[in-house]
Structure 1
Amino acid sequence: LAEEFSLDKATASNGGVIGYIILNQSGQLVPEFENKAFALKVNEVSTPVKTDFGWHIIKVLEKKPVP
């Protein structure tokens, strides 16, 4: 979906993958996105999330401890 419909050219080309995000790292992403992402379990898919940047569907692929 992201490759075809995303308006974010930075992530659309790789299927919408944004990479790892770190819990409580201030300012990394908007709170609505972070809160939903960190509430999900591995392989779980979110309901649509609205932010000032548009609508997002989040899937957590992996969780790793911060070294």
Structure 2
Amino acid sequence: MAVDKDRVEGSATNLGGKVKEGAGKLTGDEKLKNEGVADQVKGKVQNAVGGVKDALKGK
């Protein structure tokens, strides 16, 4: 059973965002931290889109 590519890419984007946010917090870089938060939101939305596609395909 294959998972929609949006779910995989969304999870990766979300994870990358968490890393960016953590690095921004650690270094005090607000811009990097905010980019990380934005990436997490983007990843969650993309993952949700993939979930809907999977549901429509009956997976």
Instruction: Flag whether TM exceeds 0.5 (same fold).
Output: no
**TM, length-normalised to structure 2:** 0.24
More relative contact order, 1 or 2 (CA 8 Å, 6+ apart): 2
Higher strand share: 1
Structure with greater helix percent? 2
TM-score (norm 1): 0.22
Bigger Rg, structure 1 or 2: 2
